[in-house]
Amino acid sequence: MVQILLLLLPALSPALAWMPVEDWESGSVTASMDESGQCVCHVYLPDTTFPADRVEHMQQVSKDLILEVEIQMNKMVSYEAKLDVYLEELKKLTFRVAMLESSPDSYIKLDFELLRIELREFEVLVSQLKDSLNSSSPMFDSLYTEIRNMTLIVNQLETYDKSNLEVIRIEFAKLQKKLEECQKEQEFIKPDIGNCNHTGIMSISKPIVVQLNAHLNAGFQYGGWGKDSKPVRGYESMYFYGAYSSPSVHNFYLYSNYENLIQRSAFKQHDIPGGWRGTGNNYIVHGNTIYYQINTPFSMTKLNLTSSKYDYRVIPAASQKFSYSYSDNQNLDFAADETGLWVIYASEESKGKIVLAKIDEKSFGIEDEWNTGAYKQLAGNAFMACGVMYLTRSVDVNTEEIYYAFNTKTREEKHLSIHFQKFQDKYSNLDYNPTDQKLYMYNNGYYVSYNVRFNKE
């Protein structure tokens, strides 16, 4: 019986074939003879011998394989999508190469189409920037206008064919000649720094809008910026800036040059202590000193930027009742030109008309005065150039006018009408700088400047 059982083992299930002997012994084996005379063995094994741990291991292996298959399938889908993109790009590249090989004209058409695409992308960019800044600045309107104009130009140029190329060349030559003439004219009107051999201001250029103030805060509507009108050696390129949410003066920032002004990288900051804080915004930097107005006592004040020393002088006749039309507390207006340092104010005695006074820089006193016929409250602001005081006023939201001039040499008054554009309606500071013959305006939070052209006939 034992021999028969051993012979039959290989034919049994593989699970039984490799079972250890002790597992066999814990079961039971019976044998019998069937009707045909063959021996039949019956093996009964206990349940504990079933390899459950191996089955569980195989199930985990199966799950891991299924997960790996899914990962690989996802990769295939991703690769298929990328392949579609690359095939599309390849088609576009093939199309461009074919157009380039066919004729230069075809390439020019493609070039125009790319220009239009770039213009549309630029328009979207400007729109996004406008939305992100939540601004309705004229600067964005100007950009939109430029984009539309450029799109029209691109469309018009594309309509030209070879027959018009010669006409284009001729027109281009004419344009080049005009540009050369313009350059010569520009050289002719090049600023003659320090020379007052002229009859006064002829015109003011279009505004050069630099950027929003260094605080990047449109709420800082009051303030001023510019250059030292009488720089000391080593500080010829220095710029100053100070701005506030009300007509006050409590700190200043100094920048070594124009680039640092744009980058908001000041080399020095002056925080004015409580007893010396000022009002109004018609301050100026002259001879490395800031001149501004304080109200207690009401007087003109100066701060030396090197020594940080303060001083003040009272002007007995000056009144606090007469300010410019654009903002309050503009009672003392400091100005500088080729002839020196000035202060502009009005008095009770003059009944609100402007009094122009020359400041002695050494004694910090008044060395001379002129009474004018112009009412201070009607003016938007004032500045000095070559010993002549010029007053401005608003024509409309976008236009300012120099309407009055007073010559301190001849005591002659003159009514003018010299218009120039404003970036925004109101401004709090306007000063002429004799070192570059420019006007510096702090216009509702923005740095703005103008070139001044004098009549040299």
Reported as a single tens digit per residue, the pLDDT across 324-344 is: 998 888 999 999 999 999 999
CATH class of 201-454: mainly beta
Q: Does residue 3 or residue 328 have the better pLDDT?
A: 328
Kindly report, residue by residue over 142-194, the tens digit of the pLDDT.
666 766 766 676 566 666 554 444 554 565 566 555 555 544 444 445 677 88
pLDDT of residue 380: 92
Angstrom distance (rounded) from CA 163 to CA 98: 24
Q: Are 440 and 335 in contact (CB under 8 A)?
A: no
User: CA nearest 290: which of 318, 266, 314, 311?
Assistant: 311
Strands lying side by side in the sheet with 381-385 = 381-385, 388-396, 399-407, 412-421
Q: How far is CA 108 from the centre of its chain?
A: 34
What is the rounded average pLDDT of the residues 4-11? 41
What is the crossing angle of helices 138-158 and 104-133, to 10°?
A: 170
What is the rounded average pLDDT of the residues 83-107? 55
pLDDT of residue 20: 47
The residues, ordered by sequence, that sit 6+ positions from 416 with a Cβ below 8 Å of its Cβ are 201, 390, 401, 402, 403, 404, 405
pLDDT of residue 28: 61
What is the rounded average pLDDT of the residues 283-308? 94
For 446, phi then psi, to 5°, come to -110, 145
Whether residue 315 is predicted with pLDDT greater than 90 in this model: the reply is yes
What average pLDDT does the chain have?
A: 78
Strand partners, 204: 452
Dihedral sign of CA atoms 29, 30, 36, 37 in order: positive
Q: Does residue 291 or residue 216 have the better pLDDT?
A: 291
Q: Which of 57-71, 264-278, 284-298 has the lowest mean pLDDT?
A: 57-71
Encoded tokens for 282: 């018609």
Q: Does residue 289 or residue 161 have the better pLDDT?
A: 289
Q: Does residue 67 or residue 116 have the better pLDDT?
A: 67
What is the rounded average pLDDT of the residues 109-134? 61
Give CA separation, 221 vs 163, 206, 266, 403, 423, in Å.
56, 21, 20, 25, 13
pLDDT of residue 361: 93
Whether residue 97 is predicted with pLDDT greater than 90 in this model: the reply is no
Encoded tokens for 40: 């039949």
pTM exceeds cut of 0.85: no
